[in-house]
Amino acid sequence: MSGVHMSSHALDLKKAHYKEISCQVKAFRHQVKKGLLTTQEVEEKRQIVFSLYADGMNDLESWTEYRFPLFRT
């Protein structure tokens, strides 16, 4: 039973990390829409922010697939 609890806690940590990254992406998009960044800043931040987002998404997806596989019939 404690293993399930630990997995749930670990999943919560993964989701919190993903949510933090998602907030960074939203903030970046807001800055771009409002014209708060120079073209150079947009180019520099775009690579970093979306790389973090993609890595976070892939990590969360692979982690959940590994621990909670979908059973197909």
- Distance between CA 9 and CA 14 in Å, rounded? 9
Q: Note down the domain range covering 72.
A: 39-73
pTM: 0.65
- Total domains, the chain: 1
Q: Is residue 56 part of a domain?
A: yes
Q: Is residue 59 part of a domain?
A: yes
Q: Is residue 51 part of a domain?
A: yes
pLDDT digits (tens, 9 = 90+) for 3-49: 444 567 877 888 888 889 889 989 999 999 999 999 999 999 999 99
Sequence-ordered list of residues with C-beta below 8 angstroms from that of 27, at least 6 positions apart, any chain: none
Q: Is residue 50 part of a domain?
A: yes
